[in-house]
Amino acid sequence: MATNKTRRSFLKTGAAGVIGAGAGAFAAPSIVLGQTRTLTISTWGGDTEKAIKSFVLPKFEKEHKAKLVFDIGSMGARYNKIRAQKGLSTVDVFFSTDEPVYNGMRTGLFAEVNKGNIPNMADLHDWATPTDGFGVGYGLITFGLAYHTGLVKNPPTKWADMWRKDIRSKLALPALFHSLMPALLIRSAELGGGSASNLAPGLAQLSKLKPKKLSYFWTAWAPLLKSGDVHVAADFDYYIEGMKDKGYPVAWNNPTDKGFATYQHLSIPKASKNKGLAEAFLNAMLDPGVQEAIANKTYQGPTNKKVKLKPAVAARSTYGDRLKNIRFFDGRSIDKKRVAISEMLKTKVLPNWS
């Protein structure tokens, strides 16, 4: 059993990141360009940056006589930078999950897009535009339960399984400020007889857990999976599929009481001086060929309904039948309560986890 000192060391949070890759041809909107311009893309590093540079950048720069430059970092740090630069943003396209988008809409940071400059939007699933024109979802992922295939004899199949005696002290959970922590609190509240408007039972439920690790990204808890200190983790499907490809002894289950659906989202800061060019970039990211490549490489579900994934990839992505068993949370409502939720978790739950 871990000592309190060891447990505290396990609870240190990691850095956030999301991977993606894509390739394919894309139709460009009719935009009049003068001399070469620069389009600044705020995104995660690693495979996301590499994919854009390898598969989107060459064709995009040639067709639009533009140069792509990158602002790389974790989602929170990048979003705070846009907030600090309000009215003077140097960013033209912002990659994120859907959570900061609602905050940016409410506080006037993001612009509505011109759908005429993004013709691929016409081919998106109805659920792919949750922000009423303030950008668009280019991918869909699901938050569920991962487990060590060699150490967990009875794999978790529902959210309540996290409280099982053989699991509750062998968990990796999202950090307090993780974008999915409010959803996990709401589901915990429901399991305790509460609801999204009555979170007290959820705080009590979460306090009963004794997680080994809190993190933003799978690489923070992966070593503990290998060592046997973590048996179960609440995390995204596409992270786990990538881990499987790397040889980790891990599998992922979409809970029978529904996994949490999360968009990979593209937004345009209102202060961008290159809005038309940014919209052309969004259109490129929504191209069926690019989206199929993203799914093939990283198992992110496509938002363009023209994409037909091969069975082997479809079975590992948020796509097809899995769409029947996912749950979208009210991002606008959560955004308004986010500060209060984080404070409640910090004062009423975290002390019990330390």
Residue type present at position 349: V
Cα dist. 80→198, 216, 323 in Å? 29, 17, 32
Predicted confidence (pLDDT) at residue 17 exceeds the cutoff of 70: no
| pLDDT for position 140 | 96
Q: Which residue has the tokens 């990283």?
A: 298
Task: Please state the rounded mean pLDDT for residues 156-179.
Answer: 97
- Among 291, 304, 275, which Cα is nearest to 116's? 275
| pLDDT for position 250 | 98
- Of the chain, the percentage scoring pLDDT greater than 70 comes to 90
Say how far apart CA 175 and CA 142 lie, in whole Å.
Answer: 17
Say how far apart CA 275 and CA 131 lie, in whole Å.
Answer: 17
| pLDDT for position 5 | 41
Domain 4-13+143-261+332-353, CATH class in plain words: alpha beta
Predicted confidence (pLDDT) at residue 31 exceeds the cutoff of 70: no
Say how far apart CA 238 and CA 233 lie, in whole Å.
Answer: 13
Task: Please state the rounded mean pLDDT for residues 221-248.
Answer: 97
Which residues, including other chains, have CB under 8 Å from residue 145's CB and lie 6 or more apart? 156, 157, 159, 161, 162, 232, 233, 234, 252, 253, 255
CATH of 37-140+262-326, one of 3.30.450.90, 3.40.190.10, 3.50.50.60, 3.40.50.300: 3.40.190.10
| pLDDT for position 115 | 95
**pLDDT band for position 48 (cuts 50, 70, 90):** confident
| Helical packing angle, 331-344 and 99-106, nearest 10° | 100
Provide the token pair at 249. Answer: 């002894």
Residue 99 CA to chain centroid, in angstroms? 9
Say how far apart CA 190 and CA 185 lie, in whole Å.
Answer: 9
Task: Identify whether the C-beta of residue 217 lies closer than 8 Å to the C-beta of residue 14.
Answer: yes
Mean pLDDT of the chain: 89
Global model pTM greater than 0.85 = yes
Task: Please state the rounded mean pLDDT for residues 179-202.
Answer: 97
Q: Which residue has the tokens 């305790």?
A: 192
Higher pLDDT: 132 or 119? It is 119
Predicted confidence (pLDDT) at residue 266 exceeds the cutoff of 60: yes
Query: Which residues of the chain does CATH 3.40.190.10 include?
Result: 4-13+143-261+332-353, 37-140+262-326
